[in-house]
Amino acid sequence: MTTHREPLDSVLDTVGETPLVRVHGSPDEVPVYAKLESFNPGASVKDRIGKYMLERMLERGDIGEGGTVIEPTAGNTGIGIAVAARQLGLQAVFVVPERFSKEKQQLMAALGAEVINTPTDEGMGGAIERARELADELDDAVVPQQFSNPLNAEAHYATTAPEIFEALDGEVGAVVAGCGTAGTLMGMARYAREQEPGTYVCAVEPEGSLYRSFAGDDPEEAEYKTEGIGTHDPTTNELFDPELVDEIRAVADRDAHDELKRLASEEGHLVASSAGAASVAARDVAERAASGDVELPHDSVVTVFPDSSERYLSKGIYRSFEEWEG
Ligand code: PMP
């Protein structure tokens, strides 16, 4: 376990062991706690899967030293994989839909990776397809494919979840997290349900996203500004297991934006839109538990703040809702 109290050999040793901090806009009877993932070296939750997936893939021989990792990514996964790839002797190439934040793309390049853009209107599906084509063209190349690779959820089962349970002495009533690939939520939910089968699990998506179709709903599809979570094509979200989820909560961009601003001005958290959405949903679960509408095995709700607002300043994240480009 990383202690941060002694010299470490590599930046990879600083992945994980992030702080768990009380969200004060939650009831005292059922407090919300957020895992602050911007404390990772690449400043997001995705450093965990970058390190975990590449280490396991090297161990298994899926890729050899000097090989190339190619990943379709909205950005944070690219940064997480790029940090790990260089330290583990691998090359990295990322396929990123154009609309995603320029800061992230610059950071991937700075970490020694190659960045290839695909058209925004082809979405994540277009990026996934292009990554596969590139992998076919190169020798010793793999696509970890965070959307379908069980190692993604396993990284959170092995690290994020045990850290949370240790911090709260096992007293976790609900797990609430935004779903992009759903790796974060699935890893935490699986671990939590093994500890306590009654743990309440809430998946979070932006309004306009289609995760609710997993629950048999027919949500209206629309564009959204919240970055890093949601889906326009649920067939790509292979890790999402509806059996592990009690509720899929859609949060409007405007509410996520109000909340990320409140978290900064009132609670000192410089977090981005997916954290805003997760916080809205987590506080809501806590309020409902406090008023007896939802039953939790313990009086606490845990969520994840995946990254920092500094990554989105060029998109006007702290401007008015209308001026925020998303
Ligand atoms: N928030 C942000 C900012 C992200 O980049 C991601 C990953 N796409 C998530 C939340 C969701 O994480 P996951 O892919 O594990 O569902």
Give dist(CA 71, CA 52) in Å, integer.
Answer: 15
Model confidence at 3, pLDDT cuts 50, 70, 90, reads low
Last residue of a domain, one of 107, 125, 142: 142
Which residues make beta-bridge pairs with 305? Answer: 36
Cα 211 to Cα 119, 173, 202, 265: the distances in Å are: 23, 23, 12, 31
**What pLDDT digit, counting tens, does each position of 9-53 carry?**
999 999 999 999 999 999 999 999 999 999 999 999 999 999 999
Residue 37 and residue 21 in one domain: yes
Name the closest-CA residue to atom 9, ligand 1. 228
Is pLDDT larger for residue 280 or for residue 2?
280
183 lines ligand 1 (CB under 6 A): yes
- What percentage of the chain exceeds 70 in pLDDT? 99
Residue 68 and residue 105 in one domain: yes
272 lines ligand 1 (CB under 6 A): yes
Averaged pLDDT for residues 60-82: 93
Residue 179: Cβ within 10 Å count: 26
Last residue of a domain, one of 120, 142, 164: 142
Residue 106 and residue 38 in one domain: no
Residue 109 and residue 193 in one domain: no
| Helices vs. strands in the chain: H and E counts, helices first | 9, 10
Q: How far is the CA of 6 from the centre of ligand 1 (A)?
A: 31
State the closest ligand 1 atom to the C-alpha of 181, by its place in the atom list counted from 1. 14
Cα 134 to Cα 60, 98, 127, 281: the distances in Å are: 22, 18, 11, 38
Give dist(CA 17, CA 188) in Å, integer.
Answer: 15
CATH number, residue 22: 3.40.50.1100
Averaged pLDDT for residues 180-206: 98
Asked if residues 66 and 90 have their Cβ atoms less than 8 Å apart, the reply is yes
Residue 103 and residue 115 in one domain: yes
Is 101 among the catalytic positions?
Answer: no
Averaged pLDDT for residues 54-72: 96
Cα 32 to Cα 11, 26, 173, 289, 295: the distances in Å are: 30, 6, 10, 11, 15
In a domain? residue 325: no
Residue 172 and residue 201 in one domain: yes
Q: How far is the CA of 76 from the centre of ligand 1 (A)?
A: 8
In a domain? residue 5: no
**Pick from 131, 141, 75, 130: which is nearest to 108 by CA?**
75
In a domain? residue 6: no
Q: Look over the chain and give the mean of its residue pLDDT values, rounded to a whole number.
A: 95
Give dist(CA 301, CA 241) in Å, integer.
Answer: 20
Last residue of a domain, one of 79, 111, 142: 142
Q: How far is the CA of 178 from the centre of ligand 1 (A)?
A: 7
Mutate to test the pocket of ligand 1, among 176, 184, 240, 251 (most ligand atoms within 8 A of CB): 184
Residue 182 and residue 83 in one domain: no
Task: Name the helix (H) or strand (E) containing 110.
Answer: helix 102-110
In a domain? residue 216: yes
Model confidence at 2, pLDDT cuts 50, 70, 90, reads low
Model confidence at 194, pLDDT cuts 50, 70, 90, reads very high
**Beta strands 68-72 and 141-142, pairing class:** parallel
Give dist(CA 305, CA 316) in Å, integer.
Answer: 19
**What pLDDT digit, counting tens, does each position of 86-143 carry?**
999 999 999 998 877 788 889 999 999 999 999 988 887 899 899 999 999 998 999 9
Give dist(CA 30, CA 33) in Å, integer.
Answer: 10
State the closest ligand 1 atom to the C-alpha of 307, by its place in the atom list counted from 1. 3
In a domain? residue 286: yes
N-term to C-term CA, the chain: 37
Give me Rg for the CA atoms of the chain: 19
pLDDT at 60 over 80: yes
- Please give the model's pTM, rounded to 2 decimal places: 0.96
In which domain, by residue range, is 237 found? Answer: 11-44+150-315
pLDDT at 326 over 90: no
pLDDT at 1 over 70: no
Q: Any idea what DSSP says for residue 43?
A: S
**What pLDDT digit, counting tens, does each position of 263-289 carry?**
999 999 999 999 999 999 999 999 999
Residue 15 and residue 92 in one domain: no
273 lines ligand 1 (CB under 6 A): no
In a domain? residue 264: yes
pLDDT at 203 over 90: yes
96 lines ligand 1 (CB under 6 A): no
Is 273 among the catalytic positions?
Answer: no
Which residue type sits at 35?
Answer: K
Which residues make beta-bridge pairs with 70? Answer: 93
If one counts the domains in the chain, the total is 2
Which residues make beta-bridge pairs with 69? Answer: 92, 142
In a domain? residue 4: no
Residue 177 and residue 311 in one domain: yes
Residue 162 and residue 310 in one domain: yes
pLDDT at 148 over 90: yes
pLDDT at 206 over 90: yes
In a domain? residue 306: yes
**What pLDDT digit, counting tens, does each position of 283-311 carry?**
999 999 999 999 999 999 999 999 999 99
Residue 217 and residue 159 in one domain: yes
**Pick from 261, 179, 256: which is nearest to 225 by CA?**
256
76 lines ligand 1 (CB under 6 A): yes
Residue 174 and residue 56 in one domain: no
184 lines ligand 1 (CB under 6 A): yes
